[in-house]
Amino acid sequence: IKKAMVDIYRRIERENLPLKILVQIHDELIFETPAAEAEAMTRVVREQMESAMRLRVPLVVDIGVGADWYSAKA
């Protein structure tokens, strides 16, 4: 997850994306982005996280979108 966080941060900076990493809670990352950008930023996060490392088993990312952490997890 740390590698993915660094990769995402670098991409945010490089592409000037409207995305902020707010907090890491265990194996979860919480981001903030404008609602109109949520779908596009979801793709960016998934792409970066699933490609953070090459393993024999695939890295699979579950993503939720919501106004707060509780509604995003539902």
* Confidence (pLDDT) at 19: 98
> Are the beta carbons of 18 and 34 closer than 8 angstroms?
yes
pTM: 0.90
29: β partners:
24
Phi, psi of 68 (to 5 degrees): -150, 170
* Confidence (pLDDT) at 73: 80
List the Cα angle 34/19/21 in 5-degree steps. 120
* Confidence (pLDDT) at 74: 58
Per-residue pLDDT of the chain (74 residues; tens, 9 = 90+): 999 999 999 999 999 999 999 999 998 999 999 999 999 999 999 999 999 999 999 999 999 999 988 898 85
Show Cβ contacts of residue 38 under 8 Å, excluding neighbours closer than 6 positions. 65
